[in-house]
Amino acid sequence: MIYPLVINMKNFKRKTIAVSMALITAGMSGCSFMPKPLTISEQQALLQEDRVKAQKDVEPVGDLLTFNEAVARGLKYNLDHRSKLLEQAIALGTYDVSKYDMLPKVLASAGYNYRNNYFITNATGAYSGNPSGSAEPFVNSDKQYGQAGLMLSWSLLDFGVSYFNARQNADRIIVASERRRRTMHVLVQDIQAAYLRAAAAQKLKKDIESTIAEANVALKNSNKVESGGLKPPLDALKYQKALLDNIKILETIDLELSTAKVELNQLINLPAKANLKLEDPDSLVVPNAYNHAETEEFEVRAIVANADLKESIYNARIAVEETRKSMLRLFPGLTFNIGPQTSNNTYYINKNWVEGAANVSFNLWNLLSAPATINLAEQNQELAAQKRMMVQMAIISQVHLSKIQLGNSSRLYARSSEIDAVDGRIAKVTAAKYKEGAASQAEKVAADASYIVSKLRKYQALSQLFAASGKMQATTGMEPHFDSLDETTLTEMTAKVKDSFKEWNSGILPAVPVDPPVASATSNIPRTKPTPAGPAVNVADSPATREVNSLVGNMLKAWKTPSGSAAATAADSASLGDVASKAGDLFKAWKPSPSTAPNPKAPAGRESSSSQDAAVIAKNK
């Protein structure tokens, strides 16, 4: 019986080796494939499909593309802005997925086992070493049998890591939202600049072409006069030089403005060759320069709503969670497993059973790497806090620069408008003299060219004013808000953009956002419900709001006082974050208190605040 068994084992080994070699050969041949580039027709078909998808659901342009509609189209259809929206959706999906990582793992398993011979074992005595029972070996298992099970596995360490991952992913949703806001700010400014350039090109095109044609006619006449000897050569050459200089200026202007419509079409996701009729740039409402507003009012709003600053704040919080997660990984891992199992092995007496286990594992190298790991995590946390501090200081400087640029741009536009008006009058007087024969054609061309240049500079100054105004809006975070770009129609978005610009140009800054009051079970503050016909309460114009804004402005002024003054002595030791914290405390202190009695610790001028707040609440109610 032994000899045939040995022969069969040898045959089995040969077959096993042959099958293994065949599998290895098939695997190697499957991995050795050559790259297959796309054909020209496949590439063209793919790109054509992309172009069709890019223009899908884009509403056609009407007879006139207004300034506000161009901005709304860019926000709704711009491909870069759509990409940022998808990134925000992906961040939200990542957060939803990460919440399931905190649940225990439920592993369902099923398998089929095969042997070419029986699983045979011998048994020996534990103490004597002699064969126990019978000398004949035992068969303990079938050659073929199936086994299935359901195992519930839960790791305490994985749960902790997944918990911090979920918190980080929740913050990344806000980070993606702030990045989309920053992209929207840049997009709006680009659309405004491109629209004004395209509108200027549309308005000046006929004047430029007619003036160049008139200059060319005058140039040909001058050449005839020179060739006929009717005028001294030097005078004729100076005349031609003046004409050529004006022609060069006009051709340069035409060249600069020729690409404006293509850039605008790209920003609002329209075909490059789309011919649009735009508004007259002289009919646009000039942005408000906010010369009456203090810079500190913009600072407070920028600290609350600036997109870059909020992103840095949440990135710092993500770094804190990463530090906690790194420290958590240094702890031992505790794992629990339990679940039912089943098998159809005929040699099993109990074919259905429940098995469980509890395991504790610890990587001893963590004892050595723990200090370095904790140090690295803390350094990353300090780096994020340093970046947040840097962004905060940069935002404050950017507010001041934006305010200065807004004022300068407003003055530049006013001066450019005056020069444009004067050049326009000069062009009309020169044209009248030319008809009377009192001015040469070169003088008329020069006057017309100067008028065109002045008008172009006026439109450039208007574009700079819109850019400075948009930069100030972006810095302070006062941009138009939309619930959903997919659900909001283009008409509704255009109306919201128009209302947003109208509110900004009104010269009245919105109230500083504050945290909503926290509801408590013991609070007896009267609650107000909005009614359709109820009177509106101007919170921004209430005495409490004016006092809070005044106190915040005084703190910021004290913080900026030079270090030699007495006010700077107390402010030098406080960072801008402390100022913002004090501002938050002021806003919290401004909330109505349950008691209507005056607060003896309140600052001067607040004795009647409780009655005033009660009057406002009663009025709203």
* Percent of the chain whose pLDDT exceeds 90: 16
Q: How many CA atoms lie within 13 A of 333 on its CB side?
A: 16
Looking at residues 54-63, what average pLDDT do you find? 83
Check whether 524 has a pLDDT greater than 80. no
pLDDT digits (tens, 9 = 90+) for 579-591: 344 444 433 443 4
Please answer whether residues 382 and 320 qualify as being in contact, where contact means their C-beta atoms are separated by less than 8 angstroms. no
Q: Which of 538, 495, 596, 602 minimizes the C-alpha distance to 66?
A: 495
92 or 190: which leads in pLDDT:
190
Please answer whether residues 199 and 278 qualify as being in contact, where contact means their C-beta atoms are separated by less than 8 angstroms. yes
pLDDT digits (tens, 9 = 90+) for 548-560: 345 445 544 443 4
Q: What is the pLDDT of residue 414?
A: 94
Q: What is the pLDDT of residue 590?
A: 38
**Lowest-confidence range among 210-214, 479-483, 503-507, 575-579?**
575-579
Q: Tell me the average pLDDT of the chain.
A: 77
144-155 and 105-114 strand pairing: antiparallel
Q: What is the pLDDT of residue 82?
A: 77
| Measured distance CA(157)–CA(165) in Å, rounded | 12
User: In this structure, which amino acid lies at residue 539?
Assistant: V
| Measured distance CA(412)–CA(468) in Å, rounded | 12
Query: Taking the model in full, what pTM does it have?
Result: 0.67
Looking at residues 61-81, what average pLDDT do you find? 88
Check whether 415 has a pLDDT greater than 90. yes
| Measured distance CA(190)–CA(192) in Å, rounded | 5
Check whether 435 has a pLDDT greater than 70. yes
**Lowest-confidence range among 355-369, 467-481, 565-579?**
565-579
Q: What is the pLDDT of residue 5?
A: 38
Q: What is the pLDDT of residue 341?
A: 92
CB 421: neighbour CB atoms within 10 A? 13
Gap between the terminal Cα atoms of the chain: 102
| Measured distance CA(360)–CA(336) in Å, rounded | 9
Q: What is the pLDDT of residue 55?
A: 78
Determine which helix (DSSP H) or strand (DSSP E) holds 140, and give its type and residue range.
strand 138-141
Q: What is the pLDDT of residue 483?
A: 66
Stated length of the chain = 621
Q: Let me know if 560 is exposed, middle or buried by CB neighbors in 10 A (0-12, 13-18, 19+).
A: middle
For 113, the 3-state DSSP assignment is: strand
27 or 433: which leads in pLDDT:
433
Looking at residues 49-57, what average pLDDT do you find? 80
Looking at residues 254-269, what average pLDDT do you find? 88
Looking at residues 322-335, what average pLDDT do you find? 86
Looking at residues 90-110, what average pLDDT do you find? 78
User: How far is residue 27 from each of residues 18, 21, 31, 606, measured CA to CA in Å?
Assistant: 14, 10, 6, 83
Check whether 496 has a pLDDT greater than 60. yes
| Measured distance CA(211)–CA(223) in Å, rounded | 18
455 or 89: which leads in pLDDT:
455
Q: What is the pLDDT of residue 466?
A: 92
Structure tokens at 40: 């020209």
Strand residue runs (E) in 245-396? 333-343, 352-361
Maximum C-alpha span of the chain: 140
CB burial string 48-72: b at 16+ within 10 A, e below: eeeeeeeeeeeeebeeebbbbbbbb
Looking at residues 528-536, what average pLDDT do you find? 36
pLDDT digits (tens, 9 = 90+) for 107-126: 888 888 888 888 888 777 77
Q: How confident is the model at residue 577 (pLDDT cuts 50, 70, 90)?
A: very low
Q: What is the pLDDT of residue 114?
A: 86
Q: Let me know if 32 is exposed, middle or buried by CB neighbors in 10 A (0-12, 13-18, 19+).
A: exposed
* Percent of the chain whose pLDDT exceeds 70: 77
Q: How confident is the model at residue 133 (pLDDT cuts 50, 70, 90)?
A: low
